[in-house]
Amino acid sequence: MNQPNVNPLLDLSGLPRFAAIRPEDVEPAVVQTLAANRVAIEQLLHDVREPTWDNFIQPIEDMNERLSRIWSPVSHLNAVMNNEELRKAYNACLPKLSAYSTELKQDERLYRAYKAVAARADFTALSAAQQKIIDNVLRDFRLSGAELSDVDKTHFKAVVEELSVLHSKFDENLLDATNAWELLITDEAELAGLPDTARAAARAAAERDGKAGWKLTLHMPSYLPVMMYADNRALRRQLYEASVTRASELGPHAGQWDNGPTMTRILQLRADEARLLGFPHYAALSIETKMAESTEEVLAFLNDLVARSRPAAQKELTELRTFAAERFGASELEAWDIPYYSEKLRQDRYAFSEEDLRPYFPEPQVLTGLFEVVRRLYGLEVREVKGAELWHPDARFYEIRDSAGTLRGRFYLDLYARPHKRGGAWMDDCMSRKRDAQGVQVPVAYLICNFSAPVGKDPALFTHDEVTTLFHEFGHGLHHMLTLVDYAGVAGINGVKWDAVELPSQFMENWCWEKQALDVLARHYQTGATLPEALYQKMIAARNFQSALQMVRQLEFSLFDMRLHSDYNPGGEQTILQLLETVRRDVSVVIPPAFNRFPNSFGHIFGGGYAAGYYSYKWAEVLSADAFSKFEENGVFDRRTGEEFLHAILEQGGAAEPMELFVRFRGRKPKIDALLRHSGLAA
């Protein structure tokens, strides 16, 4: 039974007590835990003369896992239920956590102890997972400045602390700038072309504010339909400009949440961090924890894809311009016209629109279908569990059991966009698997999306793109939850090389295109009819519509990220935007207007963990497409192939090198052929 006077964050007897957690609980829980850890580590260093896994490393692993469990619900709530008090408490703890982490990784006594365990004659008797944890920690000691002079250690620690605060500041500015903008439309004629689902959602949003009319926002379920369908060009431009100037010195809230200075400072600090550790630039430091061998290998990989896809992208853009001019008399295409006329061209060429699919993807059927797909592939049963403490009425809780009835994982699901919730979609770790004297701790994940919510009495109706996003995040979730590794440091997603972590997620997306999967995924929300064959064929025909344009857009982001962290000087004369312009000249075919401030909202690299790692999406896409090609050969629901993927990839976590695991599954190293074929670029 929970004690009412105990800080709920310190109660680790079960799942997080979301209903009880208050902002004022956060800092005391973190301060108390860090203090207790420091005392315990000093005790270990004093008492243990001959460190081993059992007497030294396991106790530290347990401390790390406990701290992670205490911080996880705080970080999660800050992302999904952001408010001023929680934000203040969260930000107060970031420097404390950063200082603690750096302090441990710079402690020469700890470093010596880990090296002593690695040098023991019985090191090879440890499991592969234990050895991998020690190897990873020794690497992290080096990358955290353990071998620096005392002066440089102090400097390094200050750099890392400031970075942790600035990453959070970047995300907060972006969230505030996104939430601050809204537009109330009072004349429905201005919404001509907008689908009924988008109009209904806009009307419901206005009604929630007690207003008449239609409320538009910069959240994706509101923004995207306007860009794709609204006949009102001025309206499209208004939303586009508000979106691409978020958190910048321009736009409707010019300068109010400007991320410009934050970005420059982040880049300066990252360059400083790399220099202190002896790397030529931050990208080289980043590569130390990746599958790729060097920044040169990554740049060659990206530039090869540019060479393969850019001519096709130029052709696609020329086709779009010709179509818009001949059919609609559009003399020029601006950035806010391209999604609109692209959708018109798609409908013209394939008699198909994303909106045609939406009635076939009601949320209850999509979830039932997703769970059926994983049952057929891996023999897993997913069911909802009532009674768990949740942070919002929209959130739900589920468990996964294998064919023997063993509980393998549990997860929270929070699907809809709302104010004070970070944009995008993600999976995060709530609890990791570990085995101790009490038994196995079952892994728990958060699966978070920002989809269109239900309107009126109808269920939420998803786009095919939203269904694909759900499968993507569920792939991450399966990677975290199905692990059989018994040590938290490399269980699930922990310890997985960053450019391999997208393999299980992108792999799952493939089933969203397969008729056998769609037959269980897609049912008309009114009639219950499956997706008609004719509509499916149109969807498949349109699958690679403008795929080269989409490819070069991702390559632009990836090369910008790598260049920003390798050959860009944050103190030099060239600005971040000027660097982006040079990348676009080499890569892009669509050049946005001068007021576009894309970097100011590039949360992946300035707020998230993708700095000098955005290329991971394309890198892992090669792995995932090639892995799926084995199912194409054997049958998309071939159980034997599913179990091979489960055992070789999903259950292994970060306990082995990703390439070794891929070869174990595929029987060879990855080839790029499947990616090019899936993208329509094979020719």
Q: Nearest CA to 295 among 624, 611, 622, 668? A: 611
Q: What gap in Å lies between CA 306 and CA 304, rounded to an integer?
A: 5
Q: Across the chain, which distance is largest between two alpha carbons, in Å?
A: 82
Tokens of 170: 């970047």
Q: Nearest CA to 48 among 117, 145, 148? A: 117
Q: What gap in Å lies between CA 191 and CA 379, rounded to an integer?
A: 47
Which residue in the block uniquely carries the two structure tokens 């055992």? 647
Residues in the chain: 683
Of 473, 509, 621, 651, the active-site residue reads 473
Pairing label, strands 426-431, 439-441: unpaired
> How many other C-beta atoms lie within 10 A of the C-beta of residue 184?
14
Q: Nearest CA to 218 among 250, 245, 185, 255? A: 245
Which residue in the block uniquely carries the two structure tokens 């599913």? 642
Catalytic residue at 473? yes
Q: What gap in Å lies between CA 569 and CA 50, rounded to an integer?
A: 47
613, 564 in Cβ contact below 8 A? no
464, 517 in Cβ contact below 8 A? no
Q: What gap in Å lies between CA 134 and CA 52, rounded to an integer?
A: 11
> How many other C-beta atoms lie within 10 A of the C-beta of residue 595?
13
- Please report, in angstroms and rounded to a whole number, the separation of the first and last CA atoms in the chain: 64
What DSSP state is assigned to residue 362? B
- 3-state SS record for 205-254: HHHHCCCCCEEEECCHHHHHHHHHHCCCHHHHHHHHHHHHCCCCCCCCCC
Q: What gap in Å lies between CA 488 and CA 564, rounded to an integer?
A: 33
Question: What are the distances in angstroms from CA 293 to CA 121, 290, 523, 563?
Answer: 30, 8, 46, 17
Which residue in the block uniquely carries the two structure tokens 């992302």? 79
474 Cβ neighbours under 8 A, 6+ residues apart: 370, 374, 427, 447, 508
Looking at the DSSP assignment, which residues form a beta bridge with residue 411? 398, 445
Helices and strands (DSSP H and E) totals, the chain: 26, 9
Burial class (CB in 10 A: 0-12, 13-18, 19+), 415: buried
Q: What gap in Å lies between CA 593 and CA 260, rounded to an integer?
A: 18
Tokens of 229: 């369908």
Question: What are the distances in angstroms from CA 615 to CA 299, 528, 579, 593?
Answer: 9, 41, 17, 25
Three-state secondary structure call for residue 220: helix
324, 337 in Cβ contact below 8 A? yes
73, 21 in Cβ contact below 8 A? yes
Q: What gap in Å lies between CA 322 and CA 164, rounded to an integer?
A: 48
Which residue numbers are catalytic?
A: 473
